[in-house]
């Protein structure tokens, strides 16, 4: 079995995400350890990348623990962040929500 890309950290073998050890550009090929994938967008240092396909409603696991749930299907190699997951710990805010709150004051 191929080894995961050295630019990615797998924090726990149960995790379905990697953590980027460096910035990765969109279109960059990576090895997930279970097959090749392609980065879908520019990835910032320390951001999450899907280790494998993640189904809508599936828990996102980091450090072997659930940290959120996928809101849409996420392909291997894709960025896992507020655009496709809901955190179990903190609400996801949008600038639109903040501007509405400011207008109400």
**8-state DSSP, 97:** H
Please report the domains of the chain, with CATH numbers, ordered by start residue.
8-104 (2.30.130.110)
- When the pLDDT of each residue in the chain is averaged and rounded to a whole number, the result is 89
Provide the pLDDT confidence category of residue 32 given band limits of 50, 70 and 90: very high
Looking at residue 34, its pLDDT comes to 87
Check pLDDT > 60 for residue 94.
Answer: no
Which has the higher per-residue pLDDT, 100 or 58? 58
Residues 40, 78 contacting (CB under 8 angstroms): yes
């Amino acid at each position: 079995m191929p080894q995961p890309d050295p630019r990615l950290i797998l924090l726990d073998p149960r995790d379905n995400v990697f953590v980027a050890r460096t910035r990765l550009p969109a279109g960059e090929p990576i090895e997930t350890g279970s097959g090749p994938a392609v980065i879908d967008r520019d990835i910032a240092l320390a951001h999450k990348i899907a280790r494998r396909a993640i189904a809508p409603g599936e828990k996102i696991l980091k450090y072997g623990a659930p940290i959120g749930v996928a809101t849409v299907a996420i392909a291997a190699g894709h960025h896992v962040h507020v655009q496709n997951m809901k955190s179990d710990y903190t609400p996801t805010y949008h600038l639109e929500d903040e501007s509405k709150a400011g207008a109400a004051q």
